[in-house]
Amino acid sequence: MRARLIASALALLLVNDPPARASPREALCASLSAASAVRADRQHGFVVSYRPGPNESDLPLPLRTSAFVYDNALAVIALVACGDVPSARRIGDAILDAQSHDRTFADGRVRNAYRGGSRPLNEKALLPGWWDAAANLWSEDPYQDGTATGNVAWASLGLLTLHQATGDARYLAGARALLLWIAANTADPSGSGFTGGVDGYDPAQTRLSWASTEHNVDIAAAALWFGRVSGDPAFGPMVVSARSFLDKAFRPPAGCFVLGTAPDGSLADTSHLALDTQLWPLLLPDAPDSWRAALSCAERHLGVAGGFDFDNDRDGVWVEGTAQAALVYASLGMAERAAELRASLQSDVSASGWLYATRGERVTTGLKIGPQSTSADFFYFRRPHLGATAWAALAATGWNPFTGRRVE
C-alpha cells in the first residue's frame, strides 16, 4: 500500500512538473522544421519568406506568396546544421525541380523567388505574382522574376550542403549547373569577378553590368567548395576571379570592403557601406589575416546599440546582420561577444518563432531593388523573416555556411 502511495505521488509530481523549456537553438531549429513541412501528397516546396508584422493582417500583395531563393537556401543550410536533413531535402528538392522546370529557360538557372507552398514534382515552377484588380491583369515583380548572381551562388551552397549531408549526387550536379550558369552569364570580361545577373520579365531580361562584392564572396565560397569535393579543376579559375575582385574591393588603410562597382565598372568608394560585405569575407576558409580589419570597420561604421545596422546610416538594428556578426565573432574566437549578440536576438523572436527582420519599424539599406527604381527603395520592415531566422540558427549552431563546418 505504501509503495503504491509513493508511486502515485511520484506520478503526480511528474504530471504537474512543467516541461523543460527549449533552448534558443532548439526553438530556432523547431521553427525552421515546422516551416518546411509539406502536404502529405507532395514531395517538396519553397517556404514563403515573410509573415505579417504585428500591425498587419496580411502581407503586401507582392510578398504574399514570395519565397526568395536566398532565404530558402539559408534555410536548407540551417536545417542541416540543426540535424534535420529530411526537412532540408524538401526545400533542396524544390530548388532542383525549379532548375529543370523553368517556364522559359533551360540553362540551369534559378529565379530570385518562387511561389511558396508545397508542390508535386515535375511541374513548371511557379513564380510569385498577384492579381491587380485595378489594372485587371496578373502582375509579377521584375526583381523576383530575375536572377541575381549571389542568389544562384547561395542556391549552390545549399545544394552542396545537402550533398555533404546525404551523398546524393543529384545535389552535386545541381550545384555544378548553377555555377556553370554564373560562369557563362556573369563573368566579367576583364577576368576579375562576376557581374550582378539579369533582371526583368521573360524572355528579354536586362543584363546587370555592375558587380557586387557580396556576390563575389558567395561565388568564391561555392566554387571553392565544389572544386574540393568534385576534384574538377575547371572551377579553380572561378575562385581566382572572384578572389581577385575581393582583393580590389578591400580598401586599406580604412580596412573596409566597398559595395562593388557601378554599371560602368568603376569601383565604389567607402562612403556607403553594407554589413554583409564586411562580414562574409571573414567566413571564407582562406581569408587572409589582413581582412580581419573589416570587422573593426563594421564596428566603427555599422554598429548600433544592441547589434548592427544594414548600412552606415545606423538607423536601427538589422536582425539578420546581427546574427551574421554573432557567427563571425565566434569564427574568430571572440566567444563572449558572439554570446552577447546571440542573447540580444532573443528579443527579436516573434510569436510564430521566427525572428523579425528588424528591431524597430524599418531599416533602410540605401540600395535600389532593381534597375527600374529611381531611388533607394529597398527596406527591411518589422516582419517575421525566414532569412533572419536561418542566420540566427546558424549562429546558434556555430555553422559556417561557406564551409559546411562548425566554427566552435
Per-residue pLDDT of the chain (408 residues), as tens digits, is: 444 444 444 444 444 444 567 899 999 999 999 999 877 667 789 999 999 999 999 999 999 999 999 999 999 999 999 999 999 999 999 999 999 999 999 999 999 999 999 877 778 999 999 999 999 999 999 999 999 999 999 999 999 999 999 999 999 999 999 999 999 999 998 889 999 999 999 999 999 999 999 999 999 999 999 999 999 999 999 999 999 999 999 999 999 999 999 999 999 999 999 999 999 999 999 999 999 999 999 999 999 999 999 999 999 999 999 999 999 999 999 999 999 999 999 999 999 999 999 999 999 999 998 888 878 889 999 999 999 999 999 999 999 999 999 997
What is residue 120's predicted lDDT score, i.e. its pLDDT?
78
What is residue 122's predicted lDDT score, i.e. its pLDDT?
77
376, part of any domain: yes
**3-class SS shares of the chain: helix, strand, coil, % to 5:** 50, 15, 35
12, part of any domain: no
Grid coordinates representing 310 are: 544594414
Q: Are 95 and 44 spatial neighbours (Cβ–Cβ below 8 Å)?
A: no
18, part of any domain: no
- What is the three-state SS of 166-189? HCCHHHHHHHHHHHHHHHHHHECC
Domain around 296: 24-406
Grid coordinates representing 369 are: 531593388
16, part of any domain: no
Listed in sequence order, the residues at least 6 apart from 207 whose beta carbon sits closer than 8 Å to its beta carbon are: 185, 195, 197, 198
What is residue 19's predicted lDDT score, i.e. its pLDDT?
52
14, part of any domain: no
What is residue 119's predicted lDDT score, i.e. its pLDDT?
78
73, part of any domain: yes
What is residue 377's predicted lDDT score, i.e. its pLDDT?
87
What is residue 92's predicted lDDT score, i.e. its pLDDT?
97
Q: How many CA atoms lie within 13 A of 170 on its CB side?
A: 11
Listed in sequence order, the residues at least 6 apart from 25 whose beta carbon sits closer than 8 Å to its beta carbon are: 82, 393, 396, 397
Angle formed by the axes of helices 236-249 and 213-230, to 10°?
150
168, part of any domain: yes
Phi and psi based region of residue 263 (left: phi greater than 0; alpha: psi -120 to 50; beta: remaining): alpha
CA pair distance 399, 80, nearest whole angstrom: 9
Buried b (16+ CB within 10 A) or exposed e, 46-61: bbbbbbbbeeeeebeb
80, part of any domain: yes
Listed in sequence order, the residues at least 6 apart from 309 whose beta carbon sits closer than 8 Å to its beta carbon are: 275, 302, 303, 315, 316, 317, 318, 321, 363
Q: Are 142 and 118 spatial neighbours (Cβ–Cβ below 8 Å)?
A: no
Backbone angles phi, psi at 67, to 5 degrees: -110, 100
Domain count along the chain = 1
What is residue 295's predicted lDDT score, i.e. its pLDDT?
98
Residue 163 sits in a domain whose CATH number is 1.50.10.10
Work out the burial of residue 7: count CB atoms within 10 Å of its CB; fewer than 13 is exposed, 13-18 middle, 19 or more buried: exposed
What is residue 121's predicted lDDT score, i.e. its pLDDT?
75
